[in-house]
Amino acid sequence: MGSGIAQICATKGLDVLINDRSADLLDRSMQSIRKSLQRLTQKGSLSKETADEALGRIRTETSLEGLRHADFVIEAVVEDEAIKRNIFQTLDKVTSVHTILASNTSSISITKLGAATSKPHRVIGMHFMNPVPLMKLVELARGQHTSGQTFEACKGLAEFLGKDVATSQDRPGFLVNRVLIPMINEAFFCLMEGVGSAEDIDKGMRLGTNQPMGPLRLADFIGLDTCLSIMKVLHNGLGDSKYRPCPLLQSYVDAGWVGQKAGKGVYQYDQEHQKDART
Ligand SMILES: NC(=O)c1ccc[n+]([C@@H]2O[C@H](COP(=O)([O-])OP(=O)(O)OC[C@H]3O[C@@H](n4cnc5c(N)ncnc54)[C@H](O)[C@@H]3O)[C@@H](O)[C@H]2O)c1
């Protein structure tokens, strides 16, 4: 997700600094951006010149200190509240009082992330959809402390990036994942109970409800680890047993079968598709 967000920002003319834990991960991120830009130029949706200029605007950095001069930070690390809170605490220290700190979280409380900082009025949820360069929506979520100014700046950025905005209250899973992920979880229950095969569940939902991708294929694309984390946030946050994660989903994650990015989830993927999962 981070690579996709960096890519669209750079394509629109913004200077971008990507941060990750190691030079290797940053190299992989740059590779996926190059590949995605190449695909867009081959399809004719982007000129070669724009793609080259975009690549020239992206720098990489392994230390969060490198974000000292950033106007806007969009955090997109794993869906883990403790890790995100930690990162927001550090970002709070290294960035200026004017920096907006946005999270691409799929489900975690923006109010909690804001409370980890000394400037919660500048913290907001900015939830891009996957794959970022192709999907039109950005879901914005205001925490208890988020100021109107931060919201307007974030909306302005989303629109500048060519996205449409849907606004959600700061509730577990916000709007999109409150609806989507329980559907995916239910598909896992159907698979676990033998109600149908993975292929039939996906075919049923594709052809029967006009979804471009069946829920199990979509889960592999999102990442089963991310889906499971979101179900846990819904279950804990809303306290209703209807949100309990399906044991089969938990078991696939325990096995390391986290979907397309790992080469195996509900389905098996070759190397080419694994790389595609990151673009
Ligand atoms: N996958 C999706 O379809 C999707 C869609 C919308 C939003 N999101 C959200 O975006 C975020 C990232 O999801 P993803 O699918 O890109 O996950 P991912 O596992 O592909 O990538 C996570 C990134 O976070 C980095 N990371 C992990 N721990 C870190 C740490 N302590 N410090 C710095 N970096 C760290 C990893 O190196 C990796 O680059 C999550 O919050 C997720 O819920 C995901």
Claim to verify: residue 194 and residue 247 sit in the same structural domain: yes
The confidence band for 271, taking pLDDT boundaries of 50, 70 and 90, is: confident
> Mean per-residue pLDDT for 193-207?
98
Say whether both 149 and 185 belong to one domain: no
Burial tier of 105 (Cβ tally within 10 Å: 0-12, 13-18, 19+) = buried
Q: Which of 3, 75, 109, 127 is catalytic?
A: 127
- Sequence-distant (6+) residues with CB within 8 A of 33 are 3, 6, 7, 10, 55, 58, 279
Last residue within a domain, chosen from 107, 136, 169: 169
**What CATH number should be reported for the domain holding residue 204?**
1.10.1040.10
pLDDT at position 279, please? Answer: 35
Who contacts 185 (Cβ-Cβ below 8 Å, separation ≥6)?
227, 231, 243, 245, 246, 249
Considering the domain architecture, whether residues 59 and 127 belong to the same structural domain is answered as yes
* Mutation to probe ligand 1, out of 22, 78, 176, 274 (largest number of atoms < 8 A from CB): 78
Tell whether 213 and 96 lie within a shared domain.
Answer: no
Same domain (yes/no): 216, 245: yes
Going by alpha carbons, the residue nearest to atom 43 of ligand 1 is 106
Q: Is 29 annotated in the active site?
A: no
Residues 40 and 133: beta-carbon distance below 8 Å: yes
Alpha carbon of 188 to ligand 1 centroid (Å): 22
Categorize the per-residue pLDDT at 273 as very low, low, confident or very high, splitting at 50, 70 and 90: low
Residue identified by tokens 């109970």 is 193
pLDDT 10s digits, 102-115: 999 999 999 999 99
Residue 29 and residue 116 in one domain:
yes
Q: Verify that 90 and 138 share a domain, yes or no.
A: yes
**Active-site hit among 3, 29, 109, 177:** 177
Amino acid residing at 158: A
* Mutate-to-test residue for ligand 1 from 77, 139, 275, highest number of ligand atoms within 8 A of CB: 77
Instruction: Kindly provide the residue ranges of all beta strands, DSSP E only, lying in the chain, ordered along the sequence.
Output: 16-19, 58-61, 72-75, 100-103, 123-128, 137-142, 164-169
Is residue 235 annotated as a catalytic residue, yes or no? no
Q: Judge if 248 and 149 occupy the same domain.
A: no
pLDDT of residue 274: 60
Domain count, the chain: 2
Q: What residues are in contact with ligand 1 under a 6 Å CB criterion? A: 1-2, 20-21, 25, 76-79, 83, 87, 104-106, 127-128, 130, 222-223, 226, 261
Mean pLDDT of the chain: 96
* Residue 152 bears catalytic tag: no
The reply to whether 272 falls in a domain is no
Confidence of residue 270 (pLDDT cuts 50, 70, 90): confident
Q: Which of 81, 139, 145, 235 is catalytic?
A: 139
| Contact between 271 and 31 (Cβ < 8 Å) | no
In which domain, by residue range, is 181 found? 177-263
Is there a single domain that holds both residue 128 and residue 250?
Answer: no
177 is catalytic: yes
Write out pLDDT tens, residues 6-22.
999 999 999 999 999 99
Q: Look at residue 274 and tell me if it is in a domain.
A: no
Residue 273 lies in a domain: no
- Closest ligand 1 atom, residue 225 Cα: 19
Q: Which CATH number characterizes residue 29's domain?
A: 3.40.50.720
Question: Is residue 276's pLDDT more than 70?
Answer: no
